[in-house]
Amino acid sequence: MMKILLYNIGYSTGLKGSFKEYFLKFWRYFRVPKGHIHKIAKFLKTERADVVCLLETDAGSFRSRFKSQTQAIMRKLRYNFWKTSSKYHPGSWYCKLPFLAKHHDAILSRRSGKVIQHYLKNGMDTLVQEFIVNNISIFTVHLGVLRKKLRKVQMKEITEILKKCPRAHLVCGDFNIYNGLEEVREFLKETHLKLVQKNPTFPAFNPCRPLDLIMVCESIKVKTSGVINSLFSDHLPVYVEIDN
């Protein structure tokens, strides 16, 4: 059995997704609440996931007091493997800006594995992380938030990456499908993936949009999957348990 958990922690701002909170507490995007990342770490420890896929972590900018949020979580979890990577292509000008350069996604795992980094040609957040563990590939994605056309192009690019994968695989990520699940129908058809987590995850205080999804190939047997009620971010975490 392997439990895989995906969590967009929103740089540990602690905002729960209401417009009022975004407006009144906007300063948290420039200085996160001290100690909030430890609350996230404590929550993750109680979930006892084998693999944790984190989106929107700060690798040590002034916002997080120059400390890596992923490292703070790892000190609590004490997993065997972890890797944090910039969300942007290494050649992108985003990586050269002091603030954006620390925008990362991360993989944490009880079991040692290997990370392969793929980069999309379109969009701002172009990183697609492939974590290979126990001969299974776990892909983590984060699609564009503003344009439906861009997300469609990105999904086509991800489809080509998946076609080259020789292993059983699953895809989890923040798909930002504000127009609903209809946006991923063609993607599921082209990749032959099955959507196992499609419940609302955003905004966390009153979830009504299924932004954070988990999809698996036909050879992976799913035991359970779902959404976890946790208000440490504006997204709710999602998980899947598979036979392995």
All structural domains of the chain, each given as residue ranges with its CATH number in brackets, are 2-242 (3.60.10.10)
Rg (CA), the chain: 17
Question: pLDDT (tens digit, 9 = 90+) per residue, 18-67?
Answer: 989 988 998 898 899 999 999 999 999 999 999 999 999 999 998 999 99
- The pTM score is 0.96
Give the residues across from 103 on adjacent strands.
58
Can you list the alpha helix ranges (DSSP code H) found in 93-165?
A: 148-163
- Report the greatest alpha carbon distance in the chain: 48
pLDDT in tens, 176-220: 999 899 999 999 999 999 999 989 999 999 999 999 999 999 999
Asked if 129 and 140 count as a contact pair (C-beta separation under 8 A), the reply is yes
Question: Tokens for 13?
Answer: 């701002």
CA distance 202 to 212: 8
Give Cα 230 distance to the centre of its chain. Answer: 15
- Spatial CA neighbour of 143 closest among 164, 132, 131, 157: 157
Query: Helix crossing, 36-47 with 69-77: angle to 10°?
Result: 40
